[in-house]
Amino acid sequence: MVNGLKRLSVLKKIQRIFLFLNLASLLSLPAMAYGFQGPEQPPNPIVAYYLQEKEVLLREFSGGGDVLFNDSQGFNYQVFFPSEHPNLQKLIDNITIDLMKTRVGKQVCARILNQQPQLIESHLSVSPRAANIIAASCLWTSEQTQGMVFPSPEKVLNKLSIRPAGGQERLYMLVVTDAPHFPFDSWTDPFTNNTVLLVRKRPGTNDLNYGFLTQLIAHEMAIYFDSRYWPGSPEWGQVVPNTLLESNFRGASKRPLYTALANPLISNVFAFMRAFQVERSMVNELAAKGEIYLAPEYRYSTSKYPFLEKTCDHSCLINYVTSEARNLLPLSLPLVAFAPHYRNRKLKDMVEGVDGPSRDSTAQAFQLLAQWAPEYIQDSLNGDFLSHLLKIPDDPVAAEKREEANIVFDLLLLPKDLESLVRLSQDTESGPTANRFELFRFMSSPVLSGFNVRLSGGPRPRIRGGNGHLPEIRAWDKFYFGDLNRFRRQ
């Protein structure tokens, strides 16, 4: 009987080998950036089979979703919820378990979540089973260095719920669309604490793959624990590395500094840069181990994202932030609506006469900050960030307010705040080279902790890269709203 079992075991192993070989002949995946012989070589059969198994859970999300949105051009947005699709929760669990095996993931688990399954489940939106697996695998070792992760006491891990009836636990939702353009890959809804992963599935484009979803979840994890988003807030100074900012700016210079850094177009670019670096670190580590596969179009291009290069100096960073902040202009209204710190600081500056290049511009800016932005927030309480964004082209009044907001930011608020940051940055670079404080490098360097989790609501989106000719947000803007550049400064 024992010999028969051994023979059966051997036969099964042989069958698996043939299955691996058959799968390898069917798969036409190019080689990973790590671990394979060359850029055109297929993955080895065992890795190919392993990766194919990870993709199986994605099959059911090609059909109808639990909720369906249509945009003004007739394209579909299918929303899938974990409560209705257990495989979605399983997918989130598997990806998060993978991410928490990385060096950064283990530090987040040990230093921020204190290896506690309940905290892991609540803040990473995983099942109890996955939370226990993660907690068991992130035991503290002497090899771990602090790096970008700052230790946090358990008591600071409290999520502020803006909507009174909303819970604190995170929930992931998957949105599959056939629209040719959408400005964001993912974001967290500030009212519900729901994190939306948006993928495009249409002829010629299929983001519905395990590698891309791993990138999105890594990015949202970095955003969630980002501790450099609210300069000047009570939580900011609790993170020791952040105090370097205050030590370089004293007295009157802090006020324009905090206001400019809170500009939602600027702050979202900095947040994206910080989270993108965390994402790349985690994802590249998984790719190097053969845990995921990244197609060439999903790899981290330094031509698209020059701040990833070590050779990107302070001037390079200033140019990137300026360029990307201007690319966010079409979304000025929704982003400023969810930036109460900026609105309060800017309005106070206006009332006290700190600003005021022209009476008309100041009046328009005041109306945007004091009226239109709060109205946008109030309207959003009746829906969510996605549905509200999609209905703007169909609403002439909302479209007009959006256009006016773009103009105010383009001609007044964005250039003034960028100019202020560049000037303040130059003031701190006047000393010896060894002592220079590079503001743009500081704000684009990631620091993760449990502090600011209370304020980690969105949208703070993952900005989709352009196609090399027209940035994705501009393409989306032109596709849905027409060419509005005639209203803007060239």
pLDDT at 5: 34
Query: Tokens at residue 418, please?
Result: 């960028």
The pLDDT value recorded for residue 33 is 29
> How far, in Å, CA of 423 to CA of 257, rounded?
10
Dump pLDDT digits (tens) for 110-131. 999 989 999 999 889 999 999 9
Per the CB < 8 A criterion, the answer to whether 399 and 390 are in contact is no
Alpha-carbon Rg for the chain, nearest whole angstrom, is: 24
What distance lies between CA 222 and its chain's CA centroid? 7
Separation between Cα atoms, residue 224 and residue 452, nearest integer Å:
8
Displacement of CA 289 from its chain's centroid (Å): 24
Classify residue 180 by burial, with Cβ atoms within 10 Å: 0-12, 13-18, 19+: middle
Burial grade of 176 (CB within 10 A; 0-12, 13-18, 19 or more): buried
Q: Share the mean pLDDT of the chain.
A: 77
Q: Can you read off the two tokens belonging to residue 40? A: 């055109």
In the numeric block, which tokens belong to residue 114?
A: 């204190």
pLDDT tens, position by position, 280-331 = 999 999 999 988 888 888 889 888 899 999 899 999 999 999 999 998 898 8
Helix, strand, or coil (residue 199)? strand
Cis peptide before 42 (omega within 30 of 0): no
Both tokens of 84, joined, read 């209705």
pLDDT value of residue 461 = 66
The predicted-structure confidence for 166-198, as pLDDT tens digits, reads as follows 455 778 889 998 888 887 888 877 667 778 898
83, amino acid identity: S
CA 279 from centre of chain = 9
Candidates 172, 178, 214, 173; CA nearest to 63 is 178
CA torsion 304-307-313-319 (nearest 10°) is 60
Relative to beta strand 171-177, strand 194-202 is: parallel
* DSSP string computed for 253-290: GHHHHHHHHH-HHHHHHHHHHHHHHHHHHHHHHHHHTT
Q: What is the pLDDT of residue 41?
A: 41
CA angle 428, 433, 434 (to 5 degrees): 100
67-120 confidence digits (pLDDT tens): 888 887 888 888 898 878 888 999 999 999 999 999 999 999 999 998 999 999
At 276, the pLDDT band (50, 70, 90 cuts) reads very high
Confidence (pTM): 0.83
